Amino acid sequence: MMHQLYPQVMHPYRYELNKDMHIAAAHFIPHEAAGSCANVHGHTYIVNVTIAGDELDESGFLVNFQTIKQLVHGKLDHTLLNDHSDWFDGHDPNRFPTTEVVARTIYETIQRYLDTLPHKPTCLQVFVRETPTSYVVYRPKAGER
């Protein structure tokens, strides 16, 4: 596992949790602007998820690290991203499996899960590195949720 520094988010919460994941996956971007990336190719994505909150659950967890891994790595690792029609599609650019959309969709998936928890943790940031030279940070807009 490669360890690296991530952008920091300022927030008022007592607890901040970060989960790193490495995800081996293939994808293609179904648009001519993508050039050779319109062909199927693979990456080892490096994903970092930042979650914060003021209260812990009955286990003493803000959120179980394993649950976050299951929601993201468990879904995407060793798959073709384009095959996940519940996350991505080939017609709407906001759902092409670009780094931006991968980051936003991970955020949406995690936040949907967090919203079911009584102590209401919140996802502050999702960092997705697609290549050694390219990464995206997704943060929800203030007041969006």
Ligand X SMILES: Nc1nc2c(c(=O)[nH]1)N=C([C@H](O)[C@H](O)COP(=O)(O)OP(=O)(O)OP(=O)(O)O)CN2
Binding region:
27, 41, 43
Per-residue contact string for residues 15-44; x = within reach of Zn ion by CB under 5 A: ----------------------x-------
Here's the x/- map for ligand X, 98-117, by CB under 6 A: it reads as xxx-----------------
Question: Does residue 144 have an active-site annotation?
Answer: no
- Cα 64 to Cα 17, 29, 43, 54, 124: the distances in Å are 10, 33, 26, 15, 16
Does position 90 interact with ligand X (CB under 6 A)? The reply is: no
Binding residues for Zn(2+), by number, are: 27, 41, 43
CA-to-CA dists, residue 96 to 19, 51, 85, 115, angstroms = 24, 25, 10, 25
Q: Binding to ligand X by residue 81, rule CB under 6 A?
A: no
With b meaning 16 or more CB within 10 Å and e meaning fewer, what string describes 84-104? beebbeeeeeeebbbbbbbbb
Residues identified as active-site:
37, 78, 130
> What is the contact surface with ligand X in residues (CB under 6 A)?
29, 34, 37, 98-100, 130-131, 133-134
